């Protein structure tokens, strides 16, 4: 079987420092460098909701995530290509990673029918039938102009039994081969393989070996943070993360909560994405070093203090809890903007602090202090 020599691609991933299994690195791409551990804000439909691209950049994001499934349905990959590619289309000059669409197909399983060839599904927009398989997913991502392309995978439900998860994993590995065969280097993107296997260490190990045999420029762990307890996710990361090649970036897909990220970094993961900071911002929840703050609660109605007195984000420097409570309760658009701004600032500051802790060989001390603050709860009532 013919594989492309991915080592010809002008990519460089440098591990600059370590503390235990945790790594500080730099993934150097043609559109910019990504400092790792890195958090990628999610711009599913070519927008990080409630944020201007320049503001996302100013908060420290080196890369964002967009989604193949949603963009193929609306506005369509051909339109985006005709208008100069995804970066120009959404006015984002830095790297973009595109999810393959596999998770969305799983999450909308009531509208889909899977086979070894691919997935036939109905659009959740208009009910029209579509077909997505490894070859088409890669073609779409290349038309979008993605910097990091993900293999098309089969993400089984957490509630599936082991035999079904095993079949799903094997299908994902076959699809990984087909994804790589479709992939070429002409658009300047990287190709990441995706490990599957649910919460079963033997399936994860088989998946890892098969992906390494094929060879990818980065490796992702998929099918986690989909309902399993955190300790089970960490157990899989303990068994899996360090078995990927040391010189390749490791990406934990769809994660996550701040304590999920901290625990995964401790276990050797380099890259993360999650809708939590943006979705929480739109629903009135601020994420802070002292844990979540629900701004919709009446206790904030007369509170003149910022969300976090120790935060220097635009929101905390300029607006009180009282104002944020008011605009949320009033349904004002600025509520989503200000809350999302704070949350993304918090996440990027968290990643920066993690990187500093690893460099200074003080990650355990950082985690202990992080956990203590997260468990301390919100500020006392005024």
Beta bridge partners of 97: 65, 148
Give which of 217, 221, 223, 228 is closest to 264, Cα–Cα: 221
pLDDT, averaged across the chain? 94
Residue 257: which region, alpha, beta or left (left: phi > 0; alpha: psi -120 to 50)? beta
Q: Would you state the pLDDT for residue 331?
A: 98
Query: pLDDT class for 127, splitting at 50, 70, 90?
Result: confident
What is the arithmetic mean of pLDDT over 134-161? 95
59 lies in some domain? yes
3 lies in some domain? no
Sheet containing 32-36: order of strands: 12-19, 22-29, 32-36
Q: Does the pLDDT of residue 123 top 90, yes or no?
A: no
Q: Are residues 133 and 270 in the same domain?
A: yes
Query: pLDDT class for 108, splitting at 50, 70, 90?
Result: low
Q: Exposure string (b/e) for 170-189, b if CB count within 10 Å is 16 or more?
A: bbbbebbbbbbbbbeeeeeb
341 lies in some domain? yes
The residue out of 274, 301, 323 marking a domain boundary is 274
287 lies in some domain? yes
Q: Are residues 214 and 142 in the same domain?
A: yes
Q: Are residues 300 and 257 in the same domain?
A: no
Residues designated as active site: 99, 273
What is the arithmetic mean of pLDDT over 28-43? 98
Q: Does the pLDDT of residue 334 top 90, yes or no?
A: yes
Domain CATH code at residue 233: 3.20.20.105
Q: Are residues 166 and 309 in the same domain?
A: no
Q: Would you state the pLDDT for residue 287?
A: 98
What is the arithmetic mean of pLDDT over 50-67? 98
Sheet containing 271-274: order of strands: 38-41, 271-274, 250-252, 218-221, 190-195, 148-150, 96-99, 64-67
Low-confidence winner among 73-77, 188-192, 290-294 (lowest mean pLDDT)? 188-192
* Domain ranges, residue 27: 10-274
Q: Are residues 332 and 251 in the same domain?
A: no
The residue out of 230, 249, 274 marking a domain boundary is 274
Q: Are residues 26 and 163 in the same domain?
A: yes
The residue out of 208, 239, 274 marking a domain boundary is 274
Q: Are residues 130 and 214 in the same domain?
A: yes
Q: Are residues 167 and 69 in the same domain?
A: yes
pLDDT digits (tens, 9 = 90+) for 5-21: 444 445 799 999 999 99
**Count: domains in the chain:** 2
By the 8 A CB rule, do 280 and 292 touch? yes
Q: Are residues 152 and 219 in the same domain?
A: yes
Instruction: Let me know how long the chain is.
Output: 382
pLDDT digits (tens, 9 = 90+) for 249-305: 999 999 999 999 999 999 999 999 999 999 999 999 999 999 999 999 999 999 999
Q: Would you state the pLDDT for residue 187?
A: 56
Number of continuous H segments (helices) and E segments (strands) in the chain: 15, 16
237 lies in some domain? yes
- Measure the CA–CA gap between 367 and 263, rounded to whole angstroms: 8
Low-confidence winner among 21-30, 116-125, 164-173 (lowest mean pLDDT)? 116-125
Q: Are residues 62 and 116 in the same domain?
A: yes
382 lies in some domain? no
- Measure the CA–CA gap between 307 and 284, rounded to whole angstroms: 12
Query: pLDDT class for 3, splitting at 50, 70, 90?
Result: very low
Percent of all residues in the chain with a pLDDT value above 70, rounded to a whole number: 95
Q: Are residues 298 and 259 in the same domain?
A: no
121 lies in some domain? yes
Q: Are residues 161 and 124 in the same domain?
A: yes
Give which of 144, 178, 179, 128 is closest to 72, Cα–Cα: 144
């Amino acid at each position: 079987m013919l594989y492309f020599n991915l080592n010809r691609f002008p990519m460089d991933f440098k591990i600059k420092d370590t503390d235990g299994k945790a790594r500080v690195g730099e993934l150097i791409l043609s559109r910019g460098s990504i400092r790792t551990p890195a958090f990628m804000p999610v711009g599913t439909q070519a927008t990080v909701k409630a944020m201007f691209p320049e503001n996302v950049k100013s908060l420290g994001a080196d890369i964002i995530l967009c989604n193949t499934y949603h963009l193929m349905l609306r506005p369509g990959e051909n339109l985006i290509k005709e208008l100069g590619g995804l970066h120009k289309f959404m006015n984002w000059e830095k790297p973009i990673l595109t999810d393959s669409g596999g998770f969305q197909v799983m999450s909308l399983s009531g509208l889909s029918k899977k086979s070894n060839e691919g997935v036939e599904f109905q659009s959740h927009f208009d009910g029209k039938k579509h077909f997505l398989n490894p070859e088409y997913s890669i073609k779409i991502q290349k038309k979008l102009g993605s910097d990091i392309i993900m293999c098309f995978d089969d993400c089984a439900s957490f509630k599936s039994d082991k035999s079904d998860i095993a079949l799903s994993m094997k299908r994902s590995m076959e699809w990984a081969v087909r994804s790589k065969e479709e992939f070429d280097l002409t658009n300047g993107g990287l190709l990441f393989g995706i490990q599957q296997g649910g919460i079963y260490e033997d399936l994860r190990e088989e998946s890892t070996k098969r992906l390494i045999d094929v060879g990818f420029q980065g490796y992702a762990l998929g099918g986690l943070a989909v309902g399993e307890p955190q300790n089970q996710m960490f157990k899989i990361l303990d068994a899996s993360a360090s078995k990927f090649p040391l010189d390749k970036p490791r990406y934990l897909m769809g994660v996550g909560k701040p304590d999920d990220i901290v625990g995964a970094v401790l276990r050797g993961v380099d890259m993360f994405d999650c809708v939590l900071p943006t979705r929480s911002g739109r629903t009135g929840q601020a994420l802070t070093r002292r844990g979540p703050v629900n701004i919709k609660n009446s206790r904030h109605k007369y509170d003149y203090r910022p969300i976090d007195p120790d935060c220097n984000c635009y929101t905390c420097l300029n607006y009180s809890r009282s104002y944020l409570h008011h605009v949320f309760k009033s349904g004002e658009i600025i509520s989503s903007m200000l809350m999302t701004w704070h949350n993304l600032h918090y996440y990027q500051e968290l990643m920066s602090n993690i990187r500093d802790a690893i460099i200074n060989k003080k990650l355990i001390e950082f985690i202990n202090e992080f956990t203590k603050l997260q468990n301390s709860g919100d500020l006392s009532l005024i």
